[in-house]
Structure 1
Amino acid sequence: MNLAAARRAWRRLEPLHGMIYFVPEAADRYAKLGLTGMSGYFASRGAAFGRASADLVIATFYNFCPDLVRRSLPAAWDLVTPEQVLQARLEAATEALHRAGIPGLPHFDETLTLARRAAEAACDHLQGRPLFAAHAALPWPDDPLQQLWHAQTLLREFRGDGHVAALLTEGVSGLEALVLHAASGEVPTAFLKISRAWPEDAWTAAEADLRTRGLLDEGTLTPEGAALRRHIEDRTDRLAMPAYGALGEDGCDRLAELARPFGRRVVEAGLLSLG
């Protein structure tokens, strides 16, 4: 099985899930429940666990500053129930994807069939994947658009838990992963610093440690640092194979082909906009 085919299938459909962290529909619904700032994010993604503690979210989300999480949890559960925030999240995703015109795209049914097949295959491999397992225990929605969003949510969390395992195996902390990601140039450093809220002195100390390990040099990846990131991404892809392997290489190629206009429509509709 070609790992690149599975990665393309995941990456091209991932905007369908990832937009939920940026769209105003989500922030508006969380605010109506009394959740503002990052409280909506931590509560909505963590609600699959039930009344998730700050420590559980710190452990499973992996790269957020613990102080940021503790400012939101468990206080959020004094305002909402997990069921309320899960419903708000699903409604927000539905409204945003309708706004982008996702249900009207060609081959919607086939895209859903392939994504759901991969997600259901992943559900046979719960061990060692706590955030995925919590979401896998949620019921499948009846609405096809919501099913597609749920399928990609499962695939995202399945791959994400594998990514955390790969980072841990290589001795890369959540903060160090952020610093290495920033050094790759793939995501603006300012965004990672603001969204994960690590103090500047902690970020600087992580940079120093990575320089000592030969992975970073003046804010850029060394050849060793780049090789480590490639190894972690490849390992993450291999760990995602219980899901995408169920489609076979041809199925992954087909899903990647079908998913391209879905991801593009999300981007073109501004659902991933930071502002």
Structure 2
Amino acid sequence: MSHVQAKIHRMFELVEPVATVTFSALVDEAFRALGMRNYWDGYFAGRAAPLGLAPAAVVHAVFYNFADGEVARHIPWVWGKVTPQEAIAVRERSSADALRQQIGELAESPDLVRVAELAARAAVSAPTEGRPLYAGLRALAMPEDPVAGLWHAATLLREHRGDGHNAVLTAQGIGGIESHVLMALSLGMKAEKFGRIHHLPKAQLAAVLDGLRDRGLVDAAGGFTDTGRETRQRIEALTDELAASAYDVLSADELDELIAKLEPIAAAAKTVDD
């Protein structure tokens, strides 16, 4: 069935903190125990593992928004320390531990079991065509533990939306680094201060901003133009539209129930140090 777009976007807001516990210190520690040199080794090993032994160029293409060469500093080096299968297992176990730690008593509540069940139904129901990372995750078994199952379902929904987001960015002619610049501006930040791109050479960021100015998306002061703001809003709206298919399996009442019962869990998970 077709759901109100505002509810689809609300699910994005609620799924994000649950899925991103996988980027927390506890998960980082688990990967370092396997021989990872730094946070990013574990990040790429865990997130790319569902793609198997894909080369850096493929991971770069699927992840979309990393600067040239960043993926290659970690892939395939990490596969000399851990197999994709081992990385999947470590990521699932440590992410479930991190989520359980963050949400406390909610981990044992009947509502969590119900949330995990509804989220899982949605998470495995969407088409996989054109969604490489989502398809890789769909090939994995759903964990039996409700907390691990909720994390896995949230990750599926996040990456399903992410694959769609990348398709929208491509259609709008927005590259990966450009997308981070637009995100920074939407948050009221200067691009050079934004966490995902602040480390890039100043000349590279300046060239990206110049390109966005030439297209009329960024003004002379480095902020949004009206066209830039409209483009950003259009990208988010189209992304929500492409994400909607995952929730077609749920009735209107079931989606409302999922949102209501997921809200306190997501609020508790938001305090994670990512």
Which TM-score tier does this pair reach, normalised by the shorter chain?
Answer: over 0.9
* Greater displacement, 220-229 / 245-254: 245-254
Cα distance in 2 between the residues matched to 1:11 and 1:103: 20
Q: 1:30 aligns to what?
A: 31
Per the alignment, residue 236 of structure 2 pairs with 233
* TM-score, with length taken from structure 2: 0.92
C-alpha separation in 1, matches of 2:21 and 2:31: 15
SS at match of 1:221: coil
Distance 1:252 1:7, change over 3 A: farther
Q: 1:13, 1:260 within 8 Å by CA — same for their partners in 2?
A: no
Deviations 1:44-66 (A, max 9, x none): 10001111211111001111112
Unaligned runs of 5+ in 2: none
Q: Which residue of the partner structure matches residue 97 of structure 1?
A: 99
The answer for the alignment partner of 1:145 in structure 2 is 147
Aligned residue in 2 for 1:117:
121
**Larger deviation: 68-77 or 96-105?**
96-105
CA distance in 2, matches of 1:165, 1:155: 16
Task: State the one-letter code of the partner of 1:80.
Answer: V
The share of aligned pairs that are identical, in percent, is 36
Where does structure 1 differ by over 6 angstroms across 4 or more consecutive aligned residues? Answer: none
* Residue equivalent to 1:86: 88
Q: Find the aligned partners of 1:187 and 1:136 in 2 and give their Cα distance.
A: 35
**Structure 1 gaps, min length 5:** none
Q: How does 1:195-210 map to 2 (within 5 A)?
A: 197-210=199-212
Matched, 1:243 2:243: no
Q: Once superposed, what is the RMSD of the aligned Cα atoms?
A: 1.6
Shift of 1:81: 0.6
Do 1:118 and 1:246's aligned partners in 2 also have CA atoms closer than 8 Å?
yes
Matching residue's letter, 1:169: A
Q: Residues 169-216 of structure 1: CA distance to partner in whole angstroms, max 9, x if unpaired?
A: 00000011011111112677331224xx53322111010110111101
Question: Partner residue of 2:16?
Answer: 14
1:64–1:198 Cα contact (<8 Å) kept: no
Structure 1 residue 260 and structure 2 residue 257: aligned?
no
> Comparing 164-173 with 215-224, which one deviates more in the overlay?
215-224
Kept after mapping to 1: 8 A contact 2:15/2:157:
no
The structure whose RCO (Cα within 8 Å, separation 6+) is larger is: 1
Change (3 A) 1:35 1:14: same
SS class of match (2:70): helix
